[in-house]
Amino acid sequence: MSANAKTFNPYLPQLAAVVERVDETRDVFTLRLCLHDAQARAAYRFQPGQFNMLYLWGVGEVAISIVSDPDDPDLIDHTIRAVGRVTRGLQRLKPGDKLGLRGPFGRGWPLEAAQGRHLLLITGGLGCAPTTSMIHYALQRRASYGRLTVCHGVKHPDDLIYTDRIQTWCAAPDTQVMLTADKGTPEWRGRVGLVTQALEDIDPIMFKGMAMMCGPEPMMVSVAEDLLKRGMMLTDIHLAMERNMQCAVGHCGHCQFGGKFICKDGPVFPYAQLRALLAVRGF
Amino acid sequence: MSQPSLLARADFDSLIRALAARGYRVLGPRVRSGSIVFDEISGAADLSAGFISVQEPGSYRLEDSGNGRYFDYVHGPESLKRFLFAPKETLWTVSAGGEVSFKETLPDLRPLAVIGARACDLAGVSVQDRTFLAGQHSNYTDPYYACRRENLFIVAVNCTRSAATCFCVSMNTGPRARAGYDLALTELDEAFLVEAGSEQGETLLADLPLKPARDVDETAATQAIAAAADSQTRRLDTTDIQALLFSNLEHPRWDDVAERCLSCANCTMVCPTCFCHSESDVMSLDGTASEHRREWSSCFTLQHGYIHGAQIRPQIRHRYRQWLTHKLAAWIEQFGASGCVGCGRCITWCPTGIDLIEEVNAIRATRIDTPAPFASLFPPG
């Protein structure tokens, strides 16, 4: 290769535009994006569980999971919590505003291994976002999967997002949705308590299926260990991880977790690969 | 690749001039701020001659070698890393004047020749290749690294001395340069034994006033390199190292080393293989353009383990443990090779003289081996 040879540059964002911004809660919003270049748009494909790097002009990049339907890669949805400089800036974008997008990156949910199995999706807080495209994927291919149980926990009822989608899921065949809030309100009709306690009420047949989780690490570990006690196979538990990803391609080193890079070996991992290290503080 | 030849000491200038004539910017060892660094040279007279480095944990001192040799100093704080993986560079720019557009800013480089790379430095490059070039261990090529890699001409020097902190023998990387160089030199009393390791190196040899090497020269070189190897007293026992470290993550030695570690990141800055970097944006003053930059970062910084409001490795013991377990163990899982090449720079340049070998030995001597599932991560063999 000569100095001028053209190598694909995995760090270079593509131009994208905001099609719509949906404000989910006070600090959570969904950005619906469309790649600007028609060719790039036509070539863009993703798998449920993968993520994009979104670049806010002059501020920086953040890794955000893709929540939309892989069958419609023209419109790429990202649900984001405004917590830092970049995400707070992204929250102010309006339809037509431009930003940078590169991706998709990483390894998503185990779609093939999940075929024909019951799927138990357990999420905490904004962890519902990375699992959403998996839920849609399965519901679009309803016959390919067994029963679907979505168990979603939030701290406070006000944190609940995707209420429209959740209603659609409730109406889908062989699909059960359990909502739980750490603290209830008079209007809250879901369970009150930790999402980890909700396993009590899940039909034990689901423990013969496959679990997919996303949420705070202690919550995922606690649920995973409980699932194992209830007879689920270790190899059937998968979780989506989060770290400070800056390059998204295994070069910047920030997302290392033992011998794994969350960005390229994950973000979805079989629990067996992470179990030992998740038990240690400081990795 | 080629039969060794002999370049007279008096003709060393011809190597530098030949490289310059081919358009290379030539760097060689020079003294700056009390240590040897790679700096621009236009002739042999610019090289620092007659130095040895006395290296100990937490200490580096140049002394008069009592001879006029160029390369007895062994090494300074720099490896080849900064010539391939730039300490700070702009990856792309984005302008918002009218249409927003992204533009990659690949380095437009004059080819670079570095004289004086050591076997450990070559090993470091080969380790970084696994991170930054697409292949078995990486899905994507870093175009900035690749660009510099293609433009680098490496003149290696086989070590005929070892510093007290060197342990390349136990990491099986030196002191003789094995691969990855264009030319390799062994410094003898009155001449250099020269070997080519690439086509470019071979071609360059044609420009030099070489004589065929005699058996006695080759023997002298081999003996000098062997003597350097024999003089190394530090050994890192890597037996079972993945299981050892990952089964002892709660060993009290991590608390002990954390008492001495300043978390200053020096070890990672001088390491030839550490690849962590962080990215940031710098907006132009008039607000019409922004540069997206990256610069070397370190797992010893708090920024490294930051994730929206939480700190993953809040204590120094977490950060030192992250560094050591990665360098010596997790690296093998990631890249099929150790992240340590035995150069000993992290020992020399640690302000408090922490020696990773001592840390590993201490853990090995009093291992507490947490039972499975840790051990199951790394089955023996």
The contacts of residue B253 (CB under 8 Å, 6+ apart) are B359, B362, B363, B366
Distance CA A120, CA A131 (A): 11
How far is it, in rounded angstroms, from Cα A136 to Cα A71? 10
CB contact under 8 A, B330 and A259: yes
Q: What confidence score (pLDDT) does residue A100 get?
A: 96
Cβ <8 Å between A252 and B278: yes
The interaxial angle of helices B143-150 and B119-132, nearest 10 deg, is 140
**CA atoms of B344 and B270, how far apart (whole Å):** 10
Cβ(B190)–Cβ(B9) below 8 Å: yes
Q: Say whether A256 and B330 touch across the interface (CB within 8 A).
A: yes
B99, B140, B286, B298: best mutation site toward chain A, by most A Cβ within 10 Å? B140
* B144's tokens: 């900035």
Q: Does B321 touch chain A (CB under 8 A)?
A: yes
B60, B31 in Cβ contact below 8 A? no
Asked whether the beta carbons of residue B290 and residue A57 sit closer than 8 angstroms, the reply is yes
Give the A window 16-55 contacts with B, CB below 8 Å.
55
Do A244 and B306 count as a contact with CB atoms less than 8 A apart? Answer: yes
First to last CA, chain A: 38
Q: Which of B279, B318, B322 sits opposite A252 (nearest CB)?
A: B279
**H/E element, A271:** helix A271-278
Chain A residues whose CB is inside 8 A of the B309 CB are 83
Three-class SS of residue B231?
A: coil
Least CB-CB distance to A60: which of B92, B146, B280? B280
CA end-to-end span of chain B, whole Å?
34
- Tokens representing B84? 């391939």
- Please give the residue that has the higher pLDDT: either B294 or B379: B294
Does any CB of chain A come closer than 8 Å to the CB of residue B378? no
pLDDT band for B377, please (50, 70, 90 cuts): low
Nearest beta carbon to residue A98 from set B100, B104, B249: B100
More confident residue, A243 or B338: B338
Strand runs labelled E in chain B: 5-8, 25-32, 35-40, 51-56, 59-64, 88-95, 101-104, 112-117, 152-157, 183-187, 191-196, 211-212, 277-283, 289-296, 306-307, 310-311
Q: Measured between CB atoms, does A163 come within 8 Å of chain B?
A: no
With CB atoms and an 8 Å threshold, state whether B139 touches A8.
no
With pLDDT > 70 as the criterion, what percentage of chain A qualifies? 98
**Contacts B324 to A, Cβ<8 Å:** none
DSSP code per residue over A88-152? HHHTT--TT-EEEEEEEESB---HHHHTTS-EEEEEEGGGHHHHHHHHHHHHHTGGGS--EEEEE
pLDDT 10s digits, B104-151: 999 888 999 999 999 999 999 999 999 999 999 999 999 999 999 999
**Phi, psi dihedrals of residue B193, rounded to the nearest 5°:** -80, 130
B110, closest residue in chain A (CA to CA): A3
- The DSSP secondary-structure symbol of B355 reads -
Question: Distance (Å, rounded) from C-alpha A151 to C-alpha A120?
Answer: 8
pLDDT, tens only, A207-228: 999 999 999 999 999 999 999 9
pLDDT band for B98, please (50, 70, 90 cuts).
low
Tell me the pLDDT tens digit for each residue of A72-128: 889 999 999 999 999 999 999 999 999 999 999 999 999 999 999 999 999 998 888
* Residue B223 phi, psi (nearest 5): -70, -40
How many C-beta neighbours within 10 Å does residue B51 have?
21
Q: How far is B318 from chain A (nearest CA, A)?
A: 5
How far apart are the C-alpha atoms of B233 and B167, rounded to whole Å?
8
Q: Report the C-alpha gap between B274 and B371 in whole angstroms.
A: 30
Q: With an 8 Å Cβ cutoff, are B329 and A59 in contact?
A: no
**pLDDT tens track for A165-197:** 899 999 999 999 999 999 989 999 899 998 888
Q: Verify whether the Cβ–Cβ distance B281 to A258 is below 8 Å.
A: no
Given a contact cutoff of 8 angstroms between Cβ atoms, the answer to whether A10 and A105 are in contact is no
pLDDT digits (tens, 9 = 90+) for B305-335: 988 778 999 999 999 999 999 999 999 999 9
* Cβ–Cβ < 8 Å for A252, A246: yes
B101 in contact with A, Cβ within 8 Å: yes
Structure-block tokens of residue B80: 């080849």
Residue pLDDT, tens place only, B356-376: 999 999 999 999 988 654 444
ipTM: 0.93
Residue B117 CA to residue B120 CA, distance in Å, equals 8
Q: Chain centroid to CA A212: how far?
A: 10
Q: Could you give the CA distance from residue B354 to residue A264 in angstroms, rounded to a whole number? A: 33
Average pLDDT over chain A reads: 93
How far is residue A154's CA from residue A159's CA, in Å, rounded to a whole number? 6
For residue A2, pLDDT over 50 is answered with no
Q: Is B172 on the interface with A (CB under 8 A)?
A: no
Which pLDDT value is given to residue B2?
64
Residue ranges in B336-377 assigned as alpha helix (H): 345-348, 356-365, 374-377
Q: Which of A15, A55, A246 is closest, CB to CB, to B278?
A: A246
Instruction: Tell me which residues of chain A, numbers 233 to 262, contact chain B at a CB-CB cutoff of 8 Å.
Output: 242-244, 246-247, 249-254, 256, 258-261
